[in-house]
Structure 1
């Protein structure tokens, strides 16, 4: 059986508008949808496109079980992004507030990769071809 499936990660953050601005600036994401504001003044979801991939950001709402990495004491998920120039993307993310967790270097498994933590606690593996 073949299923037609698309997976769109939803990143839980304290401030979806601030997160959306970061992902647009740091990843070049395009905001493609923004839900109306909820009672607390935050959108319930903001959808983004980067190349052919989609992801969402939503506010942390503890009563729904939607917890941010800070609420959990760290991120339970690694988001991997493969790009032509991992160093350039890593530098761009860092210049917008991400922090290096593992430096981007040539790895023995045949990729150039490293890891950053975005300002909202989400962990990103940035990978590409060796150089």
Structure 2
């Protein structure tokens, strides 16, 4: 049987800008890029830790809408990091918005929620401090 893998694809208004944000802010590595006839990327694959994900442009004709087009995102992306305060601060310094403050939680983690500049929601979590 072939190995099964879920590969999230984040729909964004500008894949180049999103790819740069995820590389610069979260330390993702770009591993693949395909461009359309106009030279704009149709898909950019990134690797964040050991987790691959992709970004693609919003294409209304295909039903591909960004969270900003829809008025929000029903999906939470959770990243477990060594220093959630540092990662959250870096995200907001580059245009993200704090939705839930990063702080110690009663369930034994330090976490909070951040909306990136493209409308995607991230739970940034790590060990208690």
Equivalence for 1:23: 22
- For the aligned residue pairs, the C-alpha RMSD in angstroms reads 1.4
Equivalence for 1:101: 99
Deviation per residue, 1:27-86 (Å, 9 max, x gap): 0111111102344x4211000011111110000001101000011110110000001111
Equivalence for 2:8: 9
TM-score, with length taken from structure 1: 0.93
Q: Quote the Cα distance in structure 2 between the aligned partners of 1:61 and 1:38.
A: 15
Q: Quote the Cα distance in structure 2 between the aligned partners of 1:32 and 1:83.
A: 21
Assess if the C-alpha contact under 8 Å between 1:38 and 1:44 holds in 2: no
Q: Quote the Cα distance in structure 1 between the aligned partners of 2:4 and 2:103.
A: 33
Q: Residues 38, 14 of structure 1: CA spacing in aligned structure 2 closer, same or farther, 3 A cutoff? A: farther
Q: Kindly state the Cα deviation for residue 3 of structure 1 after the two structures are TM-superposed.
A: 7.3
Q: Quote the Cα distance in structure 1 between the aligned partners of 2:49 and 2:117.
A: 22
Mapped pair 1:119 → 2:117: yes
When the two structures are aligned, how many residues end up with a matched partner?
Answer: 129
* Unaligned 5+ runs, structure 1: none
Q: Kindly state the Cα deviation for residue 118 of structure 1 after the two structures are TM-superposed.
A: 0.3
* Unaligned 5+ runs, structure 2: none
Task: Decide which structure has greater strand share.
Answer: 2
TM-score, with length taken from structure 2: 0.94
Q: Quote the Cα distance in structure 2 between the aligned partners of 1:3 and 1:79.
A: 26
Matches within 5 A, 1:72-111: 72-111=70-109
Assess if the C-alpha contact under 8 Å between 1:8 and 1:55 holds in 2: yes
* Partner SS state of residue 89, structure 2: helix
